[in-house]
Amino acid sequence: MLLSILLLAGVSAVVTHTKWPYRAPCAALCLWLAGCVAALTGLLTATYTTVVHFEETVQHQIFRLPIDLTAVLVAWVFAGRVLREYIRIHRKGTQRRRRHLTLLALFGKTVHHLQAVILPSRQPLAYSVPGPDGGHAVISDCVLAEFTREEVDSVLAHERAHLRQRHHLLTQFSDAWCAALPKRTFAVRFAERFHGLIEMRADCAASVRCGRHATASALARMAYDKSPEPDSGSGCPVAARRRHLLTNDRCCSSLTASTVFCVACAVAVAPAVLAAAGVLAAACAWICH
């Protein structure tokens, strides 16, 4: 149980406060999800152990407090709070998307060869709306008029990646996790970093289909960034996204990304391996006696 909590807390802190996730966004997302899987596995294992060995668990006290039982109960309270926040966020998001789909039906124009909905606007806009039949990619007519064909394709590929990979579900889960935490700076910074990594993941999908230079150019024009090269010292998320596109031939192909993927696998299976080792040791002791 303690190992699972430490894994999730450590992984969240590393993803939030270090700079390497901008070099390996997909690996960073996998690492945090692996921490969540490890925490859930540890909680289920601790709960089973508490139920099976309830008397021994209650007798393990510190300051007259059954510390193991208390830890399991607190963990379940936090998990329940995350679930409650996720349900609330999911319902609000579903209602908001339904209203938006109604507005798109009224003011938007579906272009079948682009597989997108076009909105009249003087500003370059692009976003995705999950919904029935896979959702809709939405862009403004300003993008069609001012961007090159390669840039338009990259923008649409970016939004379709959000829809195809169900990024709104990941975002809702991270928002629920942050809402369950105390309202501190860490929760805000984690939410900002997680949303940025999701956008970088969609950038990677767009660069595979349309090329990294076209994707970086479209991103710069959408953000009104006129600099030819992103500043390496800038903390701007758009600059970090462009820098990742322009300096990597393939997304998350560096040594850092490979190392993080391996660490994520180890984090995900660590509680299960320890639990299996404990079961095996108990079985061996029972057989020997």
Beta bridge partners of 111: 116
pLDDT at 38: 87
pLDDT at 258: 85
- 136 located within any domain: yes
- For the entire predicted model, the pTM comes to 0.85
pLDDT at 91: 94
DSSP the chain: -HHHHHHHHHHHHHHHH-SGGGT-HHHHHHHHHHHHHHHHHHHHHHHHHHHHTHHHHHH-EETTEEHHHHHHHHHHHHHHHHHHHHHHHHHHHHHHHHHHHHHHHHH-EEETTTTEEEE--SS--EEEE--GGG-EEEEEHHHHHHS-HHHHHHHHHHHHHHHHTTHHHHHHHHHHHHHHS-SSHHHHHHHHHHHHHHHHHHHHHHHHHH-HHHHHHHHHHHTT---SS--TT---HHHHHHHHHHH-SSTT-SHHHHHHHHHHHHHHHHHHHHHHHHHHHHHHHHHH-
Residues 129-185: tens digit of each pLDDT: 998 778 899 999 999 999 999 999 999 999 999 999 999 999 999 999 998 888 778
pLDDT at 227: 61
pLDDT at 199: 93
- 260 located within any domain: no
- 124 located within any domain: yes
Dist. CA 45–CA 210, nearest whole Å: 45
pLDDT at 236: 67
Q: Domain count of the chain?
A: 1
Please state the φ and ψ torsions of residue 182, each to the nearest 5 degrees.
-60, 145
- 143 located within any domain: yes
Token pair 């939410």 is found at 191
Distances in Å between the Cα of 185 and the Cα atoms of 14, 39, 188, 191 are 15, 23, 5, 10
The segments of the chain whose pLDDT lies below 50 read none
- 190 located within any domain: no
Burial class (CB in 10 A: 0-12, 13-18, 19+), 92: exposed
- 76 located within any domain: no
Strands 65-66 and 126-129: unpaired
Domain of 148, in residue numbers: 108-164
CATH of the domain at 112: 3.30.2010.10
- 253 located within any domain: no
- 89 located within any domain: no
